[in-house]
Amino acid sequence: MTTTHLIVMGVAGCGKTTIAEKMADQLGWPLAEGDDFHPKANVDKMRAGTPLTDEDRWPWLDLIVDWTKEQSEAGQSTLVTCSALRRSYRDRLSAAPGKTYFVHLSGTKELLFERISARKGHYMPPSLLDSQLDTLEELEADERGVVVDIDADVDTIVAEALSGLAKLGAINQPTTTN
């Protein structure tokens, strides 16, 4: 059985956790919060307002791949939240057995800044949004994934993501209830 790994990606404030939790509920798949894989040094660096480097990110990405690999070996498809800002990061995340698809949650800088500023208790300060936007490389045509605009309610965003993934063959067509 081929497993599928869905990476809900995007810059800080795009709603990765909220959308992934709702998708996990609908699909019945285990969900991993990518932030939980960050070593303390990365969290401390971000909390201090210092952007992470590639060297900071590689071990973090490898821990996420290790988790998806473990799940895949158990025959389980997964959902993971992860910024996955660069193509090289997404290529690294795709190293797990099975097929990896990306759901890029995309929004305007103004909307993202508003959302980050409203968060309480998160280590990522609004001051790092610009560095994340500068680092972001859009999904390329040969990458498996969908881009979903976040300027909508949660249910609409989730429905668009699941519909797009179904069209790609990543999941079965979601059912709708009337």
Most confident by average pLDDT, 4-8, 40-44, 110-114, 117-121: 4-8
pTM: 0.89
CATH no. of 4-168: 3.40.50.300
Q: Which two tokens stand for residue 98?
A: 């099975």
Q: Which two tokens stand for residue 37?
A: 């894989």
145/141 Cα distance (integer angstroms) = 9
Q: Provide the pLDDT for residue 12.
A: 85
Q: Quick: pLDDT tens for 94-103.
A: 998 999 999 9
Q: How far apart are the first and last CA of the chain?
A: 32
pLDDT band at 178 (very low <50, low <70, confident <90, very high): very low
3-state secondary structure 90-147: HHHHCCCCCEEEEEEEECCHHHHHHHHHHCCCCCCCHHHHHHHHHHCCCCCCCCCEEE
Q: Quick: pLDDT tens for 12-47.
A: 889 999 999 999 999 999 999 998 999 899 888 888
H-helix or E-strand spanning residue 101:
strand 99-106
Return the bridge partners of 99, or none.
Answer: 4
Q: Quick: pLDDT tens for 83-95.
A: 999 999 999 999 9
Q: Which two tokens stand for residue 176?
A: 């709708």
- φ and ψ at 108, to 5 degrees? -70, 155
Q: What is the distance of C-alpha 42 from the center of its chain?
A: 18
39/43 Cα distance (integer angstroms) = 7
